[in-house]
Amino acid sequence: MRVFLAGGTGVLGRRLVPQLVARGHQVTATTTNPAKLGALEQLGAEAVVMDALDAAAVGEAVAKAQPDAIVHQMTGLSRTHAGKPDLKHFDRWSAPTIRLRTEGTDHLLAAAQATGVSHVVAQGYANWNGIRTGGWVKTEDDPLDLHEGTAAYGGMAALKHVEDAVVGAGGAVMRYGGFYGPGATDDQVELVRKRQFPLVGQGTGYASWIHLDDAAAATVLAVEQHATGVFNIVDDEPAPANQWLPYLAECAGAKAPMRIPVWLARLLAGEVVVSMMTEGRGFSNAKAKRELGWEPHYRSWRQGFKEDLT
């Protein structure tokens, strides 16, 4: 199968290319940086420079590649594109990614339609952002929380756009949990080691995690099976912050995280962080296991954090 991977040099793209190639697929992978073309070629892909915000450039790149499937893994979350992570000003920090998940998604779908590509698989998100009512673990039938009235709203609305547009076009959206693995948690681990990543309140907010290699494996299955709909790609153990954060600190060789009250966290870090740490909802992977035949190698962040950091 010929696969067009938009976003080949991101943390997941770099794990996805070799998995696709190993299964016999011909991969065309994109980057915005000409200096990274060689790295993609070393992974086994044909590499091209593409600006996803330029509709004509997207259309030309897709038409030239003549793919059977398009995989959308473009974000702008790296420090190069977004600067230092800033959850207090989530809207400003996520602005490049919002454009890629709205305009970029639309450009890829238009190119798919123009060239007769029948299947698109796109990146979604399922870490702490399930609807904040009912139980602590959500399925694909539960809506994502848009966090209206907070700095997260623009980013959450962009995720909804990806799901509505891609699923509406007969494709699949992979709601990945929080990534960890090579290069994925460097910023978080740095803060943990400096004791600048505290627990907020009782730390009761849940999150779901996924190793990059497991996320890539699920994506390959979705491509090969022409999957449609939304899938939570998370490990088997959604957990509250008061469990995973101290364990992350332990694996990183850091002191236990400090604990700060909600009012102080709201003042220092903003409403999004408070919600994430105290009200977040995790996700179930039962549908992906059942429909894709996927099983994560790293069934729990406990195993994965330890192997990744020690």
Tens-digit pLDDT profile for residues 23-79? 999 999 999 999 999 999 999 999 999 999 999 999 999 999 999 999 999 996 655
The DSSP annotation for the chain comes to -EEEEE-TTSTTHHHHHHHHHHTT-EEEEEES-GGGHHHHHHTT-EEEE--TT-HHHHHHHHHHH--SEEEE-----SHHHH-S--STTHHHHTHHHHHIIIIIHHHHHHHHHHHT--EEEEEEE-SSBB-SSS-SEE-TTSPBP--TTSTTHHHHHHHHHHHHHHHHTT-EEEEE-EEESTTTSHHHHHHHHTT-S-EETT---EE-EEEHHHHHHHHHHHHHTT--EEEEE--S--EEHHHHHHHHHHHTT-PPPPEE-HHHHHHHH-HHHHHHHHH-BEE--HHHHHHH----SS-SHHHHHHHHH-
Quote the pLDDT of residue 86: 61
Quote the pLDDT of residue 82: 46
Asked whether the predicted pLDDT for residue 109 surpasses 60, the reply is yes
Q: What confidence tier does 84 reach under pLDDT thresholds 50, 70, 90? A: low
Average pLDDT over every residue of 204-228: 98
Quote the pLDDT of residue 145: 95
Quote the pLDDT of residue 52: 96
Average pLDDT over every residue of 244-261: 96
Average pLDDT over every residue of 202-207: 97
Average pLDDT over every residue of 275-295: 97
Q: Compare 128 and 185 and report the one with higher pLDDT.
A: 128
Quote the pLDDT of residue 91: 80
* % of the chain beyond a pLDDT of 70: 95
Quote the pLDDT of residue 79: 55
Asked whether the predicted pLDDT for residue 167 surpasses 70, the reply is yes
pLDDT per residue as tens digits for the range 112-160: 999 999 999 999 999 999 999 999 999 999 999 999 999 899 999 999 9
* % of the chain beyond a pLDDT of 90: 86
